[in-house]
Amino acid sequence: MMTDYPGKQLATFAAELRFEDIPAPVVRRAEDLYLDWIGSALAGKGARAVETIARFARQMGGQAQGGRVAPEGGADAMAEVLISRALATPYFAAMVNGAASHFAEQDDVHNGSVFHPAAVVFPPVLAVAQAIGASGRELLTAAVAGYEVGIRVGEFLGRSHYRVFHTTGTAGTVAAAAAVGRLLGLDAERMAHAFGSAGTQAAGLWEFLRDAADSKQLHTAKAAADGLLAAYLARDGMTGAQRILEGAQGMAAGMSSDADPARLVDRLGSRWALAETSFKFHASCRHTHPAADALLQVMREQSLRAEDLAEVVTHVHQGAIDVLGAVVVPSTVHQAKFSMGTVLGLIAVYGRAGLAEFDAHFAAAPVAAVRDKVRMELDAEVDGAYPVRWIGKVTVTTTDGRRFHGRVDEPKGDPGNTLSRAEIEDKAMRLGRYRDGASEAEMRRLFAHAWGLAECPRVGALFG
């Protein structure tokens, strides 16, 4: 007989969550995040790492010309790979869509857990919803379950975890299991087994940044697919460790030195962590955004140009140093998105750090000139507020000796400085059109699909 320990309480919450339990503003926010995710997934089209994973799926028989996105949910029911419009088994569709979602560095982020939920929750949820003929309400309920679980697992694992482990790959595996488990109708006991099988597969290490390796896409691909795997196995009776999160040899024991089990059940059912999730405005690692916004503020207020900058000191939290400190002179576009100096160089020279700017100018001489004038400095206030608040502070010294201070308490995209639906549509359109992932007309149909998802009787093909 299982006792009511925190991990079991979290599994019970995920299993028993109903659409009617979710406040209307949270449902609307989930729709916003869903559309934001679709844009990010489409922007992964053509990326070498993503296409490599897609090719693997084809080689393993995961994609097929036959099959269908079908309401019957039979053995031949398939799901969509968004970057190619191909049909695939739900497992491989989740894998490829998960990889694609995390390439452009514009998918959402939850500050307190330092976790990117959409990239690991929506790929398996959409794939399974398409395969079993689920409704929009069922998809949204499952997604909310995945967000609430994944965010709390990320918070539980703590700051020490994030220094070495990519939380989106680790907590994300459990989040995906919770989301798919809810969609499959797992009861509390089987949901706990799904958590156990997900947690024992959870992985993702930051070392890839030092080599500009492709592992980040593998992290989200595997988290999405392995969470789906864990839920299906639990449905069919496979058992998993019951204390995989807080047990003596569980995730926290091996991956954290500051884990707090109370965070797993923090105000379940009253605090909706999904609503705390931020949109990413710049196409770079979220740790660069506060400083980017603060520098942009100074340059606009003081009418500065890139050539006016003699030094830019970014006052940051330790997490930013841990992640961004490994990248000094980036060698690829993706690695450049983890370079504080490069991001601020793009902001100084072009006024934005978007997809086009990274692709065309990350190594340009004017950007590199600014990059070499940027340094990170640990700030007690910023570090103390992190990860709940991501404060942006910069000190700018000009070539003529003037000094200016910039500060942003809520970066663009945070809940208190969020994107409107018009801004979300604009961002999604840019992402969808970035590598011809979708036409303008197709994107506009996706806008209508997302805003009406709660009334959709069956989630079919997005590009049918």
Kindly list the structural domains of the chain, giving each domain's residue range(s) and its CATH number in brackets, ordered by start: 6-280+420-455 (1.10.4100.10), 286-412 (3.30.1330.120)
Residue 3: pLDDT above 90?
Answer: no
At residue 74, does pLDDT exceed 90?
Answer: no
CB-based contacts of 170: which residues, under 8 Å, 6+ apart?
153, 157, 161, 202, 203, 204, 223, 251, 255
Mean per-residue pLDDT over the chain, rounded: 95
Burial of 238 (0-12, 13-18, 19+ CB in 10 A): middle
Q: Is residue 121 a contact partner of residue 442, using CB atoms and an 8 Å limit?
A: no
More confident residue, 427 or 73: 427
Mean of pLDDT values over 299-326: 97
pLDDT at 225: 98
174 pLDDT band, cuts 50/70/90, is: very high
> What's the pLDDT at 254?
98
User: pLDDT for 240-283, tens place per residue?
Assistant: 999 999 999 999 999 999 999 999 999 999 999 999 999 999 99
The residues, any chain, with a CB within 8 Å of residue 154's CB and separated by 6 or more, are 110, 112, 113, 114, 115, 167, 171
Q: How far apart are CA 216 and CA 213, in angstroms?
A: 8
User: Average pLDDT, stretch 79-93?
Assistant: 96
Neighbours of 44 (CB within 10 A): 31
Q: What is the pLDDT of residue 77?
A: 75
Share of the chain above pLDDT 70, in %: 96
Q: Is the dihedral of CA 292, 295, 299, 301 positive or negative?
A: positive
Residue 62 is predicted with a pLDDT of 73
Instruction: Give, rounded to a whole angstrom, the gap between the first and last alpha carbons of the chain.
Output: 47
Helices (H), ranges, 236-277: 251-255
Contact assessment for residue 242 and residue 190, using Cβ atoms and an 8 Å cutoff: no
Q: Is the pLDDT of residue 313 over 90?
A: yes
Rounded CA gap, 286 and 290, in Å? Answer: 8
For residue 67, is pLDDT > 90?
no
> So what's the pLDDT on residue 464?
75
Reported as a single tens digit per residue, the pLDDT across 12-57 is 999 999 999 999 999 999 999 999 999 999 999 999 999 999 999 9
Residue 361 has pLDDT above 60, yes or no: yes
- 197-235 tens-digit pLDDT: 999 999 999 999 999 999 999 999 999 999 999 999 999
Under the banding of pLDDT at 50, 70 and 90, the label for residue 110 is very high
pLDDT band at 2 (very low <50, low <70, confident <90, very high): very low
Whether 66 has a pLDDT exceeding 60, the answer reads no
Q: Considering the entire predicted model, what is its pTM?
A: 0.95
**Tens digits of residue pLDDT in 113-136:** 999 999 999 999 999 999 999 999
| Predicted local confidence at residue 52, as pLDDT | 98
Quickly count: other Cβ atoms within 10 Å of residue 212's Cβ. Answer: 15
pLDDT range class, residue 70, cuts 50, 70, 90: low
pLDDT, position 68 = 63
What's residue 1's pLDDT?
35
- pLDDT of 75 higher than 70: no
Is 351's pLDDT higher than 60? Answer: yes
Tell me the average pLDDT across 281-308: 97
Supply the pLDDT for residue 371: 98
